A and B are shown apart, each in its own frame.
Chain A
Amino acid sequence: MFAALTANAALFLGGIFALLLLASGVVFLLRRAHPERDYAELAARVNSWWVMAGVFAAAMALSRSLSLVFLACVSFLALKEYLSLIPTRRADRRVLFWAYLAIPVQFWWVHTGWYGMFIIFIPVYLFLLLPLRMVLIGETAGFLRAAGSLHWGLMLTVFNLSHMAYLLALPEERNPAGGGAGLVLFLMFLTQFNDVAQYVWGKTLGRHKIIPRVSPKKTWEGFLGGVATTTAAAWLLAPLLTPLAGWEAPAAGLLIGLAGYVGDVNISALKRDLGIKDSGSLIPGHGGILDRVDSLTFTAPLFFHFLYYLHY
């Protein structure tokens, strides 16, 4: 049944669901202990985690192709949310249509394992093609802003996130322990775990604000506690799921902790610029899809290249 998973990866997926069970148990006990308090937001958050983890786990367990389709859908939702939030010019409808078409093409390169094309398609070819399409339409008012903001979003939501998918295209024999799915699980889990760890550390010990102008709730204590926790978790998990050995394992955790934080505040800055709180309402208790994948947009390419340089 778990054709696409190694034994370690399947075991780890089981561990994720055990953690979710624990989270649901904690919410249940909190509600029993404090019936007067409102835990609806927290409960919605945990329930959404169940749905996200369930869909993700099903795709990962069933087949590699299905996993790629799932990740392409995540990119599609993220790009759609981004383009729905930012001001776009009506004249650029056709250009936006081309930008959407980039998603299946980019994930097709991943599917065929054509690394050279995967790595330049969006940064080079689309970077040149989309402004050309805009020029052909001929609307020059707001051209720089339209071309710049479209490419920025495409890099973040399609190019960066597709690095997670390319982990599945790396040669399996270099990672007998976890396989391609193990790498995706490692990255995905640590990135989301880092978000939660930073939140929990900040909530319990947070006193000193770190960047109040961008994200007023973020503190030094949350940031450092989260990064330390993620580094430790990476150290423990790396032998199970990845070929990372020795110093590489905690270094990968440190990288994910730091990059995840920057990815998070990067989207916070975007939302603050646009004057909105949540990027959408797709995921109850979390906000929009960009609120959920914000950290991944930074951790995916950085973790990928760290691993690729060292082992592939």
Chain B
Amino acid sequence: MARLLRFAFYLLVARPIALLVLGLNVRHRQRLPDQGPAIVAANHNSHLDTLVLVSLFPLALLPRLRPVAAADYFTRNPLLAWFSLNVIGILPIRREAKGGADPLKPCEEALERGEILILFPEGSRGEPEVMGRFKRGIAVLAARRPAVPVTPVFLHGLGKALPKGDPVLVPFFCDVFVGEALHGADDQTAFLAELESRMAALAGELPVPAQSEGLS
């Protein structure tokens, strides 16, 4: 039942929003992983990010796609928790691990099951259309699973369409640029730097400088 609901949600709500209301300009789509285990790492500006990323994949892969999300935010009330877990299909993790619990354990288990994790290394949506520094978690996870490809995806425009703190969706064409996958290494700082630099290179493919949309 939940599986059917999830399927219907992505087919009838998420895809129409991503493809008709917004409209995506996707570059290098062939670089996306076509099977798990894999990690997709994107910058995060909007609740739409997850819906857009999932709609890039064929529906047949839907059962394997797991957006990684903060447990404290998405399970803060029973209704939201039910929706996030069953319909969006999030993999909840605890950002503030207490008592020595390993916050990345659920991610590792999911990768073992051959799932594709959708991860936002900035940790939260932050300021609309401003890329924050990446948190260390993704480097730790990738180092523990060096065989799993990490595909960077740069998203642009979604923070304009539905930014943090505003419930009104305003249609804009959005850019989705997929980068070359990289693999985790023991040197986590170097991995993070490489991931950030690939993301910056993707941002550089934008025709108009991304910062032109602030107040000016």
Tell me whether A87 and B168 are in contact (CB under 8 A): no
Interface residues of A in 95-154 (CB under 8 A from B): 96-97, 100, 139, 141-142
How distant is B216 from chain A, measured CB to nearest CB, in Å?
6
Find chain B residues with CB under 8 A from A81 CB. Answer: 173
Known contacts: A77-B23, A90-B128. The answer to whether A277 contacts B207 by CB under 8 A is: yes
Tell me whether A276 and B215 are in contact (CB under 8 A): no
In the assembled complex, B213 has its CB within 8 A of some CB on chain A: yes
Contact of B215 among A76, A77, A142, A281 (CB under 8 A): A142
Find chain B residues with CB under 8 A from A76 CB. Answer: 171
Known contacts: A93-B166, A280-B25. The answer to whether A100 contacts B216 by CB under 8 A is: no
Specify the chain B residue showing the minimal Cβ separation from A100: B171
How distant is A75 from chain B, measured CB to nearest CB, in Å?
12
How distant is B213 from chain A, measured CB to nearest CB, in Å?
6
In the assembled complex, B170 has its CB within 8 A of some CB on chain A: yes
Tell me whether A141 and B166 are in contact (CB under 8 A): no
Binary A-proximity of B155-190 (CB < 8 A = 1, otherwise 0): 001001001001010111110000000000000000
Tell me whether A87 and B166 are in contact (CB under 8 A): no
Tell me whether A88 and B207 are in contact (CB under 8 A): no
Q: How many residues of B contact A (CB 8 A)?
A: 20
How distant is B27 from chain A, measured CB to nearest CB, in Å?
8
In the assembled complex, B208 has its CB within 8 A of some CB on chain A: yes
Tell me whether B215 and A80 are in contact (CB under 8 A): no
How distant is A186 from chain B, measured CB to nearest CB, in Å?
30
Find chain A residues with CB under 8 A from B174 CB. Answer: 84
How distant is B126 from chain A, measured CB to nearest CB, in Å?
14
Tell me whether A87 and B212 are in contact (CB under 8 A): yes
Contact of A87 among B23, B25, B157, B216 (CB under 8 A): B216
In the assembled complex, A305 has its CB within 8 A of some CB on chain B: no
Q: In the assembly, what is the distance between CA of A80 and CA of B171, in Å?
A: 7
How distant is B113 from chain A, measured CB to nearest CB, in Å?
36
Tell me whether A85 and B216 are in contact (CB under 8 A): no
Interface centre among B160, B171, B173, B216 (most CB of A within 10 A): B173
Tell me whether B172 and A275 are in contact (CB under 8 A): no
Tell me whether B215 and A89 are in contact (CB under 8 A): yes
Q: In the assembly, what is the distance between CA of A277 and CA of B207, in Å?
A: 8
Contact of A276 among B157, B207, B214, B216 (CB under 8 A): B207
Tell me whether A142 and B171 are in contact (CB under 8 A): no
In the assembled complex, A210 has its CB within 8 A of some CB on chain B: no
Specify the chain B residue showing the minimal Cβ separation from A275: B208
Interface residues of A in 272-289 (CB under 8 A from B): 274-277, 280-282
Interface centre among B207, B208, B212 (most CB of A within 10 A): B207
Tell me whether B208 and A80 are in contact (CB under 8 A): no
Specify the chain A residue showing the minimal Cβ separation from B166: A93
Tell me whether B208 and A88 are in contact (CB under 8 A): no
Find chain A residues with CB under 8 A from B212 CB. Answer: 87
Known contacts: A88-B213, A93-B166. The answer to whether A80 contacts B207 by CB under 8 A is: no
Known contacts: A77-B23, A85-B208, A90-B163. The answer to whether A100 contacts B213 by CB under 8 A is: no
Interface residues of A in 35-92 (CB under 8 A from B): 76-77, 80-81, 83-85, 87-91
Tell me whether B168 and A94 are in contact (CB under 8 A): yes
Contact of B208 among A89, A276, A282 (CB under 8 A): A276
Tell me whether A97 and B168 are in contact (CB under 8 A): yes
Known contacts: A77-B23, A90-B214, A280-B25. The answer to whether A84 contacts B170 by CB under 8 A is: no
Contact of A84 among B163, B168, B172, B216 (CB under 8 A): B172
Q: In the assembly, what is the distance between CA of A80 and CA of B20, in Å?
A: 11
Q: In the assembly, what is the distance between CA of A139 and CA of B216, in Å?
A: 11
How distant is B115 from chain A, measured CB to nearest CB, in Å?
31
Q: In the assembly, what is the distance between CA of A277 and CA of B214, in Å?
A: 22
Find chain A residues with CB under 8 A from B207 CB. Answer: 275-277
Find chain A residues with CB under 8 A from B172 CB. Answer: 80, 83-84
Interface residues of B in 78-104 (CB under 8 A from A): none
Q: In the assembly, what is the distance between CA of A99 and CA of B193, in Å?
A: 42
Specify the chain B residue showing the minimal Cβ separation from A80: B171
Q: In the assembly, what is the distance between CA of A40 and CA of B170, in Å?
A: 35
Q: In the assembly, what is the distance between CA of A96 and CA of B166, in Å?
A: 14
Q: In the assembly, what is the distance between CA of A154 and CA of B71, in Å?
A: 43
List 19 contacting pairs A-B, 8 Å CB cutoff, sorted by A. A76-B171, A77-B23, A80-B23, A83-B172, A89-B215, A90-B128, A93-B163, A93-B166, A93-B168, A96-B170, A97-B168, A97-B170, A139-B215, A142-B216, A276-B208, A280-B25, A281-B25, A282-B23, A282-B173
Lowest 8 A-B CB distances belong to which pairs?
A84-B173, A276-B207, A84-B172, A281-B25, A87-B212, A93-B170, A80-B171, A97-B170
Q: A88-B213, A141-B215 are in contact. List 12 more A-B contacts (CB 8 A).
A: A77-B23, A80-B23, A84-B172, A84-B174, A85-B208, A90-B128, A90-B160, A90-B215, A142-B216, A275-B207, A281-B25, A282-B25
